[in-house]
Structure 1
Amino acid sequence: MSEAAIHPSAHATALLASLDPLLRQWLPRQRWFAGKGRPISALEAVAATELLPRSAPTGLLHLLLRVRQPMAPPQGSGLDGVIAERPTDCYQLLIGMRRTLPPRLAPALIGHVTEGPLAGQTVYDALLDPRLAGLLLERLRMPGRHGVLRFERDMDVEIPSGLTARPLTCEQSNSSLVYGDTFILKLFRRVQAGLNPDLELPLELARKGCARVPAPAAWFLADLASGPATPEESCSLGVLQPYLAGADDGWELALRMRDKGDAFTGEARALGRATAEVHAALAAALPTVTLGRAQVELVADAMAERLTVAAQSVPALRPYAPGLLTAFEALADLGGAGPAWKAQRVHGDLHLGQCLRSPDGEWSLIDFEGEPARPLAERRLPQPPARDVAGMLRSFDYAASHGTWSPGWAEECRAAYCSGYAEVAGRDPRTDPVLLRAHETDKAVYEVLYEARHRPDWLPVPLAAVRRLAGDGSADEAH
């Protein structure tokens, strides 16, 4: 969002001043906070909305704030010792306020405020308080405005009141509440101006009657412009969708079946069909484009630049960089020959963990946010469907690497998935090997950087793919 266009109220600034020292300590401990390992240089209020006033026995504050942090340059960049300002992230917080916190809410504690308008209050993570989580559901049941917040819903969907809320604990980049095993509310923690794809795309798919994606029942946004807000000036904050009770997470299901010695090829084929159905519905719902030579070269150049950045940060990647670069060079060369590749809206971060199998065996795709670390405008660009296919192929590799390395299991799943995709799409993704290799290589490079920063024990998994994709021996050697 444009910083110049937002002028926080004196009320918001004063409330944040009360919370500032506590939030500086609390934010870095949250799983969804992206700036771990760097000090916070400043917190700045964007908007503050009291959904329940602090004068009530229990208050509820909705807060949007910018976090400024210094950022060191990548190793080997020649800028050692130069500290730059990291682009600011805007975070969404829901803060409960009480004079005293009951023992059952002790894990939610943020701290005790000693100064400013909130002095004397104990503040805590409101999502861990069932009463305040229930209030949020009530606001979603009643469309309208509250300060800068705008609540909307599908009036054809019944949303009962009084559903008990429980938080999910497995997420990393966002937070979710399940209401009575009936609905799930996903709250975006890092927010940007513009319609979040995790709201935008399920809404469009619902209008096209695509049953592979749970349709939004309600959602809310923040309008931060001084006048009437356009969709590009609003921030998507959360979306309420049906909760698929009893559904199997695709990742957990794949691991269970693999460990039991059961084939996953039937499920992989069905997943391929489901992916192709969603791609077809997205192509029908939203504009598609044909990638010309210039566009393909831009895509290939962006992939090459991501490789350069990753190799600077992860020394283990450097020996393979020349071989990996050939994948992007081949894409640019083939793009110059004029193949008619189509680009459309896609999932953007597809893997087994983004898929759910219902008790009746049907697959659904969820979490259309894309890779949260990438700018929202980039995540909303049309992409070749091969990007999603490559993400799922990489996910089969990850599942095959869990425990005893099983390359044959991964290859069988990869082949079955592509065959299932072709049954619906009429074209097997493997018939575009240059396009598929480039996207799979780009994904593997992203994984190397992610694992090196967050899960070093997992780094051998993408490095095995890197070895294969660079044409430097068998992936088996890396396990």
Structure 2
Amino acid sequence: MLEELLAAWIGRQRWFGGKGRPIDRVSIDSDATIEAGDPGLRHLVVSVWQDGTRDRYQVLLGLRSDLPDRLKHALIGVHGPYAFQDGPSRDEWYAYDAVHDHELTPWLLECMGRNCDWGTVRFRHLPDVEIDTSLRSLVLGAEQSNTSLVYGDTYICKLFRRLVPGVNPELEVITALAERHAPHIAQPYGWVETDLDGTPTTLAITQEFLSNSNDGWDLALTSVRDLYAMPFEDGYGEPAAVTAADAGGDFAGESFRLGCATARVHHELAAAFPTDVIEIPEVKRMAEGFRRRLARAVAEVPELREHVGTIEAVYHRVEELTAEVPVQRVHGDYHLGQVMRTNTDWVVLDFEGEPGQPLSERRALSSPLRDVAGMLRSFDYAARHLLADRPDAASLEPRAEDWAARNRAAFLDGYVDGGGAISPADSALLKAFEMAKAVYEVVYEARNRPTWVGIPLAAFRRTGL
């Protein structure tokens, strides 16, 4: 029975969100035949029941009478008998994860290009967009919660494995910004959707693949490595006064340009979506929420206790604000891993918002300073994560602080130069967002990577807060 095969297979997938808990049962909510043949392709929405709760997942099911070696790693199990409508009937089929089958995945582009409907699954493309359906696909292997297919050097199609009813925020944002011909985004081409609980729900998004670009995190780490590799003594055996500006891979110019691009993206988001303001009482409630999360974090990670006074002082400045706070659509999960440097400029990716949060929160208006704070924290991580478990970490700490300070300042300068506003009141709120993010990071690292907890703790020792 196919449900039993899926139950045994799905728990082993890296994108499955219910690891560590037994699966009670699996049911198939919808089953649409996209290609009736050998190989055949079916689109499934699967419900997984665990401890009385239900999560839904998307599976592209391939069926073959004979499974080639290149697909054996994707085997789900032997399924049969089964007969496709208007297709072949077999007593036994090999069922497998079809995202790995380059003979079947062109159907995704083909259906988008023709705006096809297959059962409850709808394939759509943007107006005035032509899609090349001849390209061969390759699965990217680094993702935890989604599966992305790269088609040649042209497209990347992100399939959302765990499904939440509603339009994905990334689809909303990139299509709205594309209509405005906004820079700093990857061109969207099409999407796949269905209805869950009567609500249109995004299954996949296809965008421009930035083949000749570099990940912001990797570029930053290259700069940090250059700095750390510089000698501690000059040619005469005297201590060398090394700064981040001296390193051959100085990143400050890129940080400035990234700040400019971030401000432009925020401007485009404010133009494309509604904006609002947070009244003073709500600002104070936001500060109270920061304090509650801090109290919970201190209870879980005692190392935070010595920094409570510093953090509370930052939160208190937010409570003293006397002006409304402008809010708008923002990225919501902004860091160096979400930006790519192309040959011409920076491009911002993944407008989904913070993973694991409800769609309503990911769509909610917020201060753009939340994104700015996320990027500032990312510079701190880039500077210090290479120090984890290094015996010479203490001697390199001044270089880490110098690199982080130089690039944080350059990013903020670029943000202001690009039109982003950071008034004195904004500065108080920005510091509070930074502190709140660092508190969250301390808890995360204590739970998952205890040797890294010193990275976010360093944020509370910085002077000038």
- Shorter-chain TM band: 0.7 to 0.9
Show the 5 A alignment for 1:253-264: 253-260=219-226, 261=247, 262-264=249-251
Conserved 8 A contact 2:3-2:27: no
In the superposition, the TM-score normalised over structure 1's length comes to 0.82
CA distance in 1, matches of 2:295, 2:42: 43
Aligned equivalent of 2:230: none
Within the alignment, does 1:414 sit opposite 2:408 as a pair? yes
Q: Give the match's secondary structure for 1:94.
A: strand
Confirm or deny that 1:353 pairs with 2:337: yes
- In 2, distance between residues paired with 1:176 and 1:225? 25
Return the alpha-carbon distance in structure 2 between the equivalents of residues 21 and 466 of structure 1: 51
The equivalent residue for 1:220 is 192
- How far does residue 24 in structure 1 lie from its aligned partner after superposition? 3.2
Write the mapping of 1:311-326 to structure 2, written as runs, cut at 5 A.
311=298, 314=301, 317=304, 320=307, 324=311
Q: Which residue of 1 aligns with 2:58?
A: 92
Distance 2:160 2:215 in 1: 21
1:418, 1:429 within 8 Å by CA — same for their partners in 2? no
Matches within 5 A, 1:119-158: 120-158=92-130
Corresponding letter in the other structure for 2:172: E
Match status 1:386 vs 2:372 = no
Confirm or deny that 1:290 pairs with 2:277: yes
Distance 1:293 1:167, change over 3 A: same
> Could you state the TM-score of these two structures normalised by the residue count of structure 2?
0.84
Equivalences for residues 91-240 of structure 1 within 5 A = 91-113=57-79, 120-224=92-196, 233-240=199-206
Alignment coverage as a number of residue pairs: 427
**Residue aligning to 2:259:** 272
CA 1:225–1:330: 2 relative to 1, 3 Å: same
- Distance in 2 separating the partners of 1:276 and 1:372: 23
Distance 1:408 1:431, change over 3 A: farther
User: Residue 93 of structure 1: CA displacement?
Assistant: 1.7
1:70-121 Cα offsets, whole Å, 9 max, x none, are 4xxxxxxxxxxxxxx6x64322221212233211112212223479999833
Matched residue type, 2:209? Y
Please give the alpha-carbon distance, in whole angstroms, between the structure 1 residues aligned to 2:25 and 2:315: 40
SS at match of 1:350: coil
2:414 is the counterpart of 1:442? no
Mapped to 1, the partners of 2:44 and 2:305 lie a distance apart of 42
Distance 1:469 1:67 in 2: 50
Aligned-residue offset at 1:469: 9.6
Superimposed CA distance per residue, residues 162-195 of structure 1 (whole angstroms, 9 cap, x where no aligned partner): 1011111122221111111111111112221222
Query: Which digits, 9 at most, give the CA deviation of each residue in 1:7-38, with x for residues without a partner?
Result: xxxxxxxxxxx333333333333222222222
Check whether the contact 2:178–2:187 (CA below 8 A) recurs between aligned residues. yes
Amino acid at match of 1:464: A
Query: Structure 1 CA distance, aligned partners of 2:30 and 2:336?
Result: 36
Q: Which runs of 5+ in 1 are unaligned?
A: 1-17, 71-84, 227-232, 472-479
Structure 2 SS opposite 1:132: coil
Greater shift, 195-204 or 444-453, is seen at: 444-453
Give the greater-gyration-radius structure (CA). Answer: 2
- Relative to structure 1, is the Cα distance of residues 429 and 454 closer, same or farther in structure 2, using a 3 angstrom cutoff? farther
Any conservation in 1 of the 2:331–2:353 contact (CA below 8 Å)? yes
Q: Deviations over 1:230-251 (max 9, x none)?
A: xxx2111111111112101101
The one-letter amino acid paired with 1:59 is G
Of residues 239-248 and 189-198 in structure 1, the stretch that sits farther from structure 2 once superposed is 189-198
- Asked if structure 2 preserves the Cα contact closer than 8 Å seen for 1:321 and 1:470, the reply is no
- Note the alpha carbon deviations across 1:39-85, whole angstroms, 9 max, x for none: 223434332222224xx322222222333334xxxxxxxxxxxxxx6
- CA deviation profile, 1:125-173 (whole Å, cap 9, x unmatched): 1111111211112111111321111111123222112101111112222
2:286 counterpart residue number: 299
Identity across the alignment (%): 43
- Structure 2 unmatched ranges of 5 or more: 84-89, 227-246, 388-396
Q: Secondary structure, in 3 states, of the residue corresponding to 1:403?
A: helix
SS where residue 217 of structure 1 aligns? strand
The answer to whether the 8 A contact 2:3-2:28 is kept is: no
Please tell me whether residue 65 in structure 1 is matched to residue 49 in structure 2: no
Give the 3-state SS of the residue equivalent to 2:323 in structure 1.
coil
Check the 8 A contact 1:400/1:409 in 2, yes or no.
yes
2:328 matched to which residue of 1? 344
Does the 8 A contact of 1:437 with 1:469 survive in 2?
Answer: no
Is the contact between residue 148 and residue 224 of structure 1 (CA under 8 Å) also seen in structure 2? Answer: no
Secondary structure (helix, strand or coil) at the match of 1:193 reads: coil
Tell whether 2:355 aligns with 1:372: yes
Equivalent residues of 1:219, 1:238 under 8 A apart: yes
Between the aligned partners of 2:313 and 2:15, the Cα distance in structure 1 is 35
* Equivalent of 1:281 in 245, 249, 268: 268
Distance 2:350 2:17 in 1: 18
Letter in 1 for 2:275: T
Q: Which amino acid aligns with 1:459?
A: V
Q: 1:44 to 1:462 in 2, by over 3 A?
A: farther
Relative to 1, partners in 2 of residues 1:116 and 1:469: Cα closer, same or farther, differing over 3 Å? farther
- Tell me the distance in 1 between the aligned counterparts of 2:80 and 2:445: 40
**Closer, same or farther in 2 for the Cα pair 1:412/1:127, shift >3 Å?**
same
**Could you say what secondary structure the match of 1:432 adopts?**
helix
Find the aligned partners of 1:318 and 1:91 in 2 and give their Cα distance.
41
